[in-house]
Structure 1
Amino acid sequence: MKRVLVMSTRGIGNRGRHLMLDLRTIMPHSKKEQKLDTKDRLDTANEVAELHSCEGCLLFEARKRKDLYLWAARTPRGPTVRFEVQNVHTMGELSLVGNALRGSRPILVFDQSFNENAAIHVQLIKALLSQIFSVPCGHKKSQPFVDRVLAFMHTPDGRLWVRHYQIQLEALRQQSKRMPAVRALSQLVSGEQAFDTNTTHLSAEDMQALAETLVEIGPRFVLLPIRIFAGSFGGRTLWENPDYISPNMLRRAARIRGTVAVRAKRHTKRARREAQLEKALANLPVDELADVFESGEIEPS
């Protein structure tokens, strides 16, 4: 995509806003826009993207000033993937030592779970993320250098870990002597090979070897896929995460667990007091005059 619109809805928190600014920084082909005024009609982002001649859109949606969602869409026809954004750590917060050239083109690295044998929705997510985060060759705001990696790792629980690294060329050359896949990356970074495509797959062993040559820049965050739509910000549902539980349900369950715990504690405390009272009554001395008036008869003097 030549241009990608990056914007948010109103009510976004500081952490989400800083993450959005970080993505704009590492995406030289991004376009910025003011916050979307409405939360009910997110499809109005298609009109904003059309005004900026953008083919893709990253829309951060804030809910209750606590929950952050990310809509990744190919405008105006779709598809669209809705994620829940978790474990956000921005570049300013991390203060890492990694430092790449501003405007350089990244290499997108996907682990082996994104290969051809993956599920259809995983392949669709990979294709959409590749189109959005790939910097077009010869873009006017990009630099003709490759010195960073944007890594996407798919975990067994369905989450996507996103990490951003700087490439250390000398260390990469040392690792490329024993890893063919890493050797191809070394040729891309050093300019020995044409950079026609910026997407590659690495095995777990190659990922470990590549990690030894990288210095993290940030930001880092986790994406949990919720639903895939056929259209742009709506339309027919192509896939839905059956294991997804919304933050509202998690908070409600936590409140219920807290209420049950408080009630159990009160019941235990009441039962303990009753047991202590019964024990105290059982240990009282016998009253010899307790049965004096039980017969109801008064003996004459």
Structure 2
Amino acid sequence: MTMVKLKKKLKRSLKEAEVPQKPVVELPPPTRNSDEPLQKKRKWINKQRVLIFASRGISFTDRHLMKNIQTMLPHSRPGNKMERKDTLTAVNEICEMKNCNKCILFEGRLRRDLYMWFANVNDGPSLKCLVESVFTMGELKLTGNSLKGSRPLLSFDEKFRQEPHYRLIQELLTQIFGTPKDLPKSQPFIDHVISFSILDNRIWFRNYQILSEDGALVEIGPRFCLNPIKIFDGGFGGKTIWENPKYVSPAKFRQQLKRMTSQKYEMKAEQKEQKKQEKQSLVIEPPNENDITELLTGDMMKKAKKLTHKTIDLKKQSETETAAQEQAVEKKKIKAAFSAMKKLKKKEAEKVKTAAKSVQNGGGLSVKTKEGKKINKHKLKRLKENLERKKKLKEKKKKAKKKMVRKDVKE
């Protein structure tokens, strides 16, 4: 009996061992205050750090742009200025000393041109770009704003998927500008969007704030444009994977502008010569003397004049034509004035005739006017005498005034 009981107990224990145990689930507390912060995961798996620094000879606008990018990326680290003596291969050693995987280097030349390097220090690749149309956050004064240390959304244009070199650039930019999850310096918020778009073989950088869930955006800044030049296999060196065939260096572009300005004088001289040739083409050429058929046809006098005057200057011809027109106008004016004088003389003669007739008819005591009124001759004489007296008085007064003025001058 004892053996049978032992066997039954063993079977029961085996069955209990085979049955899997249910996992214990920890439920959240039934109540929680809204002021309590969420517990962060202390595990930081994606440990990427970006070193952002510049070489000597950089301008103030480029320096402000570098500081704006440093504030945008919470996983970045600043660095000292690189000396001009150092080569680009020394940047890899600087990144290793700072424990950084990625790097953004600002290289300035002649305080005019700015070159930006994006590189993966350990294995590569590295991208060299020319920075154009830079506008910093201080210059723009835009209304957008975002929390410091917040995580961004990266949006890329569809053209990044069409060509292989753009795909490589997209991956490199995502690793540099994308803040890693659970970073100690970052915040668990996504309140701004960084967009990269391609237009005119250039990459345009923009930064926007997310206002609402509907998709309303406001620009924060900064703004700049990247003109890619080369992609290298390693970090700051190696074999060239891709090269931009449409790239023109800023020095060559300035040389072309200078040539265009220097060619202005030559262009003006050519235009003057063209005008002279056009004027010469307008000169009437004489007919051939050997062709008798051309001479016999048409007006003989005109063709004789053309033969005598082989070359005709258009300027002189225009001047003579204008002078002839002016003379004709003056002749017309003289003729009109002469005809008017004749008409006046005829009217005066008619008046004299009418006065003589009236004297014969009325006995010489009265004269008729144009209106038909009769005036006595004695009255007319008196009126004429009064007018003459008034004229003489006026002349005396004028002479007296002149004498007074002369006396004042002498004194």
- TM-score tier after normalising by the smaller chain length: 0.7 to 0.9
Question: Deviations along 1:34-89, whole A, 9 cap, x unmatched?
Answer: 11102661121111111110000000111111111100000132100101111111
Q: Which residue is equivalent to 2:75?
A: 29
Match among 101, 120, 142 for residue 164 of structure 2: 120
SS in 2 for 1:23: helix
Report 1:74-153 matches (<5 A): 74-115=120-161, 118-153=162-197
SS in 1 for 2:100: coil
Return closer, same or farther for 1:270/1:10 CA change in 2, 3 Å cut-off.
farther
CA distance in 2, matches of 1:92, 1:154: 25
Is 1:163 aligned to 2:206, yes or no?
yes
Report 1:241-252 matches (<5 A): 241-252=244-255
Report 1:204-243 matches (<5 A): 210=215, 213-243=216-246
Question: Which sits farther off after the overlay, 122-131 or 12-21?
Answer: 12-21
CA distance in 1, matches of 2:86, 2:98: 22
Higher helix residue share: 2
Question: Deviations along 1:182-238, whole A, 9 cap, x unmatched?
Answer: xxxxxxxxxxxxxxxxxxxxxxxxxxxx4xx11100001111111000011110000
- Contact 1:2–1:139 (CA<8 Å) still a contact in 2? no
CA distance in 1, matches of 2:123, 2:252: 32
CA distance in 2, matches of 1:231, 1:250: 30
AA partner of residue 31 (structure 1): R
AA partner of residue 82 (structure 1): K
* Aligned CA-pair RMSD: 2.6
- Contact 1:228–1:237 (CA<8 Å) still a contact in 2? yes
Q: Which residue is equivalent to 2:383?
A: none
TM-score (norm 2): 0.55
Larger CA Rg, structure 1 vs 2: 2
* Alpha-carbon distance, 1:262 to partner: 3.0
* Alpha-carbon distance, 1:15 to partner: 1.2
CA distance in 2, matches of 1:35, 1:263: 47
* Alpha-carbon distance, 1:122 to partner: 0.3
State, as a whole percentage, how many aligned pairs show the same letter.
45
* Alpha-carbon distance, 1:162 to partner: 0.6
Paired positions, count: 241
SS in 2 for 1:60: strand
CA distance in 2, matches of 1:67, 1:141: 33
* Alpha-carbon distance, 1:149 to partner: 0.5
CA distance in 1, matches of 2:81, 2:92: 14
SS in 2 for 1:218: coil
| Larger RCO, structures 1/2 (Cα 8 Å, 6+ apart) | 1
Query: Which ranges of structure 2 fall in alignment gaps of 5 or more residues?
Result: 1-46, 279-312, 317-411
* Alpha-carbon distance, 1:154 to partner: 1.4
Q: Which residue is equivalent to 2:265?
A: 262
CA distance in 1, matches of 2:244, 2:256: 20
AA partner of residue 232 (structure 2): F
SS in 2 for 1:42: coil
CA distance in 2, matches of 1:216, 1:123: 26
AA partner of residue 160 (structure 1): I
Q: Which residue is equivalent to 1:48?
A: 94
CA distance in 2, matches of 1:242, 1:268: 36
SS in 1 for 2:96: helix
